[in-house]
Structure 1
Amino acid sequence: MGTRLTVEQQDFVAALRDFATRECGTREQRDQWAKEGGTAHNPEIYRKLAELGWLGVCFPEAYGGAGGGLTEACLFLEETSYGMVPSGGFVTTAIAAKAYERFGTHDQKERVLRATVEGAVASIAMSEPEAGSDVGALQCAAERHPEGGWLVNGHKTWISNAHLAETILLVARTGPDKHHGLTMFDVPADTPGIEIRPIETMGGREVNDVYFTDVRLPDSAVVGEVDQGWGQLMAGLDCERLFLASSMLGVARRAFNDAVSYIKVREQFGRPVGTFQALRHRVADLATEIECVRLLIRDVAADYDTDPQQRLSREAAMAKLKATETAKRAALEGMQMMGGYGYATEYDMERHLRSAVVSTVYGGTSEIQRDIIGRSYGL
């Protein structure tokens, strides 16, 4: 598939850029929305995105969405990241909502997808203290209750946006088999027995420990089929990786452009530092890498949209690996080119670094992505 955008997609990108410029175009606006970089999600600006219909960009019209595909979702994430719009809840919401779209009952889809379009945040609870990259090792258990339904006990960690969520898509152990004993559950975040505790990070409040203590769930809470959660998770990983890749493409572009803008005007030895060959070559290499990421993401998303049932595990892993490593490099190189000012909170570069540096860990580490790619060649 080609990487050219349709006229409608170009108009969508232009509208997103106009919104970002209008709402987050100045440092003062960004500080106000994001509490000086301490939060990646602002409910007020998220509601504005919902009112414009953009949060339903990749969800069916039957549930209030715009009926777009993965390409449109990737464009949304890239441009909101580039524009530093604090709408970080969308990534986990879209990942969770896509699972409901594929495997949920009509009632579950009617509730969760419509809420997503209207601005509700969802979270997905997989990782545990002893089950990160090895998701199949999770031990948070959902057991049949004698009076019907399920009883959940366990501890989840590094759960993004759980503190903002109305709905938590829980992956729990329901059987002894490592991969065929997992089940997805639809859990309202205010269900009795759930405790959410923040994990403080250099990126601000984004992730949480979530404790489930004798949490009662009805049989209707099962999303998909009992003990089939592993296959359901695998079916959604391509989307997750592309969503994360697109978000980091936006960060990479923004870090690059901020650095170039700075070195064009910063003078040393009587001329702008960007005119020195050492920095010109650094800029050339970064620009080339970022363009490679953009083409890769758009190509994979376009292929996916031709047949959403196909698996593109190798290609999605490549996109996630390349985008996150490039974003981290762009922020580090940007900081180096800006010198001490890149490290100062007066500029956005240190914010870009905080956003990018963890991206090679969450959603599957770079090492895991490389392993997936390598195995796809029979190694």
Structure 2
Amino acid sequence: MDLALTEAQEMLKNSAREFLERECPPSLVRAMEDDERGYPTHLWEQMAGLGWMGLAFPQEHGGEGGSLTDLAVLLEEMGRAMLPGPFFGTVVTVGLTILDAGSDFQIQQYIPRLASGALIGTAAVLEENAQYSQDGINMSGELSGDSLQFSGSKLFVESANTADLMLVPVRTSGSGEHGVTIALIPGTASGVSMSALESIARDRQYEVSFNSVSVPTEEILGGVGEGWPVLKRSLDRATALHCAVSVGGAQKVLEMTVEYTKQRVQFGRPIASFQSVQHDCADMVNAIDSARLATYQAIARLEDGLSADREIAMAKVLANHAYKWTTLTAQQLHGGIAFMEEYDLQMWTRRAKVAELKFGTSGPHREVFAQSMGLV
């Protein structure tokens, strides 16, 4: 399996880095932490003009016809820049899920607008138990004539304040894998309300409440009671692709740390000349490269239509470790300045903690990996 980037992917990587360094510096990210919307509309429009939202969608639906690996390359650069906004939810958790399991009507209705950036999407999956599993879907829904009605609440819904379209799994019958139904609803549908949640990353996350929301059956994704396989594939894709975001963030932190240790003088010489500091930086490189390799291997298997549970689990564990450990080690090597709000490093550190929790902590993924190896 050749995981080297193609010439076109290298060009995408370099152009994305140049654009984000210019248009999304840490000063903008810092400002967006206090912004009500959470991202600048002009940046979203610029990204749409570059075709980024449509990168992984087919050309016949208004996209660029790229691959999941192309998208991962772009997401790695976005993680490096801490890009604020609803790109991941719009493209990955909503757009690719509709493309995977949507009816012809749903694909024609939503994909061109998602690919152009005209429509913003988000997924409302987690409930009080915060499980990314079939047992985590308990919000009750009921079919009544030609509509699906449901009430309840979902937690940690990203960018719900600006979402035009929400993907909402509910339970219409049964238990476990059976009886999960996925609804597509407008973000401003009658009966939808939301309240902001505090996040250590200071991004836009919400508790979304649904009060007798009614959805026509043509807006059910994947069939009544048959939504879990669709949601499982969606979560698998999202987990693997979000690992690329983590790898990008960790890579930037490593580069910041190496540059700082070259400049920071102690005992008459740069601290980068001390062996223990060099060992820490070398360990950071090893952790990041391992996570990157595992991430792109998992994505390659998804592209090829192969089973990737083991590879996704390994990528998630390694990406969690790489991002968290790299930022914490960087904090130590920077010393006291790293803990100052005015210094940029703490922004990556906070996002590393959120990334560790998103799409499951390392524990459940270690369990999946162990089972795939026949160890449990």
Query: For this structure pair, what is the TM-score category when the shorter chain's length is used for normalisation?
Result: over 0.9
Query: Matched residue of 2:355: which SS?
Result: coil
Shift of 1:86: 2.4
Shift of 1:302: 2.7
Name the counterpart of 1:140: 139
Query: Matched residue of 1:159: which SS?
Result: strand
Equivalent in 249, 258, 261 of residue 260 of structure 1: 258
- Structure 1 vs Structure 2 CA RMSD: 1.9
Shift of 1:206: 2.4
Q: Following superposition of structure 1 onto structure 2, how do residues 23-62 of structure 1 map, counting pairs within 5 Å? A: 23-25=23-25, 27-32=26-31, 34-35=32-33, 41-62=39-60
Shift in CA distance, 332/40, structure 1 to aligned 2, threshold 3 Å: farther
Shift in CA distance, 318/189, structure 1 to aligned 2, threshold 3 Å: same
Query: 1:92·1:161 contact (CA, 8 Å) conserved in 2?
Result: no
TM-score (norm 1): 0.93
Q: Following superposition of structure 1 onto structure 2, how do residues 243-258 of structure 1 map, counting pairs within 5 Å? A: 243-258=241-256
Shift of 1:258: 1.0
Q: Following superposition of structure 1 onto structure 2, how do residues 209-220 of structure 1 map, counting pairs within 5 Å? A: 209-220=207-218
Q: Following superposition of structure 1 onto structure 2, how do residues 51-130 of structure 1 map, counting pairs within 5 Å? A: 51-91=49-89, 93-119=91-117, 120-130=119-129
- Structure 1 position 354 matched with structure 2 position 350: yes
Aligned length: 374
| Percentage of matched positions with identical amino acids | 28
In structure 1, what residue type is equivalent to 2:4? R
Query: 2:135·2:175 contact (CA, 8 Å) conserved in 1?
Result: no
- Structure 1 position 312 matched with structure 2 position 311: no
TM-score (norm 2): 0.94
Shift of 1:179: 1.6
Name the counterpart of 2:190: 192
Equivalent in 299, 312, 322 of residue 326 of structure 1: 322
Query: 1:198·1:205 contact (CA, 8 Å) conserved in 2?
Result: no
**Distance in structure 2 (CA, Å) of the matches to 1:269 and 1:286:** 24
Shift of 1:24: 2.8
CA deviations on 1:171-196 (whole Å, 9 max, x unpaired) are 00110232211011111111100011
CA deviations on 1:278-297 (whole Å, 9 max, x unpaired) are 11110011111111222222
Question: Runs in 1 of length 4+ with deviation above 4 angstroms?
Answer: 35-40
**Distance in structure 2 (CA, Å) of the matches to 1:349 and 1:370:** 29
Query: 1:37·1:204 contact (CA, 8 Å) conserved in 2?
Result: no
Shift in CA distance, 24/280, structure 1 to aligned 2, threshold 3 Å: same
Name the counterpart of 2:3: 3
**Distance in structure 2 (CA, Å) of the matches to 1:93 and 1:136:** 25
Query: Matched residue of 1:56: which SS?
Result: coil
Shift of 1:91: 4.3
Equivalent in 331, 335, 355 of residue 339 of structure 1: 335
Shift in CA distance, 224/6, structure 1 to aligned 2, threshold 3 Å: same
Query: 1:158·1:208 contact (CA, 8 Å) conserved in 2?
Result: yes
Shift of 1:236: 2.3
Query: 1:90·1:121 contact (CA, 8 Å) conserved in 2?
Result: no
Shift of 1:121: 2.2
Shift in CA distance, 212/77, structure 1 to aligned 2, threshold 3 Å: same
Equivalent in 177, 185, 188 of residue 175 of structure 2: 177
**Distance in structure 1 (CA, Å) of the matches to 2:33 and 2:132:** 32
CA deviations on 1:69-103 (whole Å, 9 max, x unpaired) are 11011001001211333245324541221110111
Query: 1:20·1:84 contact (CA, 8 Å) conserved in 2?
Result: no
Query: 1:238·1:317 contact (CA, 8 Å) conserved in 2?
Result: no
Shift of 1:130: 3.0
In structure 1, what residue type is equivalent to 2:311? E
